[in-house]
Structure 1
């Protein structure tokens, strides 16, 4: 993190200029997360150590980043092509054959969408951002787009939906009333439907009190769920598990949620919140990559001649920040026609 600051890269500046910081306790959590898999081996064998070094993606990224700084690597080796190896092998074998685009990469993504917000009260610090980003598919590690914050947009489930639907892959992060911080990566575009959807690149994660990532087990396809205004099905947002036994559940009654003690959708999963049913005090969502085209951009029109989620969301957010409340801005159901 000191190298990030000394390098003064645009990615670091995009967060630092909005008040992001480095918390000492999260440095310790990040270090512990890198080595916790070794603790299951007693005694530790050479083979176990080799496997850990090969599979520790984040450790590989850290080694590569530090090596590039120490040896001032700034030019592409003639004819060099970056290898696709993971973990520490990436640092050792391909540090001298990186493309110019890859050399511009950082441990943290570029922060986009906070231009009109001079100081952003994010849940995340630099260590937590780096931890989440390292586990994302590579194409989503470059840039995060600000979509929603309860501190800015208010505590409204309909507002949350309006800001995350049709925005492509996303990262959700929340903090419960006991200070536990956790969330999930949703690879599919959020949409209102009574069915589960998504793919096995989805994962849940815990940041406080410990940093852990829970990848897909392949046991089922219950990765994402979003429903509203239904009488016979649960109304809310979910990732993993099943009705009543969610990996992560945010109720449509804003502020209430659930994480079950076990979840068959995600491997190594443990209850992420302080208690199974919880209340949360802060929620934020970040979009990844370019958002898919809106119905208007595709030349389509919704029922009644307008989009289901019409209006300028950014303008509405600025009105809220200025104290001009939108009194009736709930999610509008499509007409039966």
Structure 2
């Protein structure tokens, strides 16, 4: 009889202990959750519809993918079309003039004759330069037929180079990640040490059908 009473008392106290422990753990978890940031749901970038309406190349999905890779300092700024070959003609000098008054980072987007879409994010606007310039924020990307981003490897600092007869993004061992001529018509893409990228276009040499440059304002 005494043994049964002991077991019943033990069972009652054990149950009470676990109830108290459960309540305590719930209180701790609720307290911790107050200090943790809520998950941020991905939202469309500011002015997405205007970007797509003003672009001859970009679709909404392209912009969303790119926004995930852009550096934090571009967040909250509006994309503004600074130059496009369909609106302003195919001239590198004209492109330099359009960007001469800005210090904003820029995005170069190219659509080639095979309908492939690719380009580069530049930490600084494109301009004539004696040497390579820019920072490790610069990167190359592919948008269509697949999305892929190529960030700085740290191997060298050959980010941006502007000449009067061409511009180049990324380099090493005589190869440029992206190179376009003064008429913004003929281009070339090769693997380079700066970004460890593959060829952005289907073939090393490509023809530019449309080129756009976007800045942030």
Query: How high is the TM-score relative to the length of structure 1?
Result: 0.49
Q: What are the superposed Cα offsets for residues 235-276 of structure 1, whole Å, 9 maximum, x if unpaired?
A: 31111014851100111133011101x110003x11011211
Determine the structure 1 residue equivalent to 2:201: 273
Which stretches in structure 1 are left out of the alignment for 5+ residues?
1-79, 82-92, 229-234, 291-337
Could you tell me which runs of 5 or more consecutive residues in structure 2 were left unpaired when the two chains were aligned: 1-33
How far, CA to CA, are the matches of 1:112 and 1:130 in structure 2?
Answer: 11
Closer, same or farther: CA 152–135 of 1 in aligned 2, 3 Å:
same
- 1:110 corresponds in structure 2 to 47
| Corresponding residue of 1:190 | 126
Q: Which residue of 1 aligns with 2:23?
A: none
Provide the C-alpha distance between the structure 2 equivalents of 1:109 and 1:266, rounded to a whole number of angstroms: 28
User: Which residue of 232, 241, 246 corresponds with 2:171?
Assistant: 241
| 1:138 is aligned to 2:72 | yes
Secondary structure at the counterpart of residue 121 of structure 2 = strand
SS in 2 for 1:196: coil
1:256 equivalent to 2:201? Answer: no
d(CA) in 2 for partners of 1:156, 1:112: 28
Number of matched pairs = 181
CA distance in 2, matches of 1:192, 1:243: 22
Name the SS for the 2:195 alignment partner. coil
Distance 1:113-1:169 versus aligned 2 partners, 3 A rule: farther
Partner of 2:54: 120
The 8 Å contact of residues 181 and 208 in structure 1, kept in 2 or not, is answered as yes
Deviations 1:266-294 (CA, angstroms, capped at 9, x unpaired):
03x11011211111100001002x4xxxx
Partner of 2:37: 94
Q: Write the distance in 1 (CA, Å) between the matches of 2:203 and 2:109.
A: 17
Match of 2:107 in 1: 171
**1:203-245 Cα deviation digits (max 9, x unpaired):** 10001121000000000000001011xxxxxx31111014851
Q: Structure 1 CA distance, aligned partners of 2:49 and 2:156? A: 34
Contact persistence 2:139–2:195 (CA under 8 A): yes
Residues 146-182 of structure 1, C-alpha deviations (whole Å, 9 max, x = no match): 1011111122222112112342210000011111100
Structure 2 CA distance for aligned equivalents of residues 197 and 152 of structure 1: 28
1:209 paired residue number: 145
Pairwise CA RMSD of aligned residues?
2.4
- The Cα offsets for residues 26-84 of structure 1, whole Å up to 9 and x where unpaired, read as xxxxxxxxxxxxxxxxxxxxxxxxxxxxxxxxxxxxxxxxxxxxxxxxxxxxxx89xxx
Deviation string, structure 1 residues 96-136 (Cα, Å, up to 9, x no partner): 6x7xxxx9x8332336998xxxx534201111001011100
Taking structure 2 as the reference length, the TM-score comes to: 0.75
The 5 A counterparts of 1:79-90 are none
The answer for the alignment partner of 2:84 in structure 1 is 149
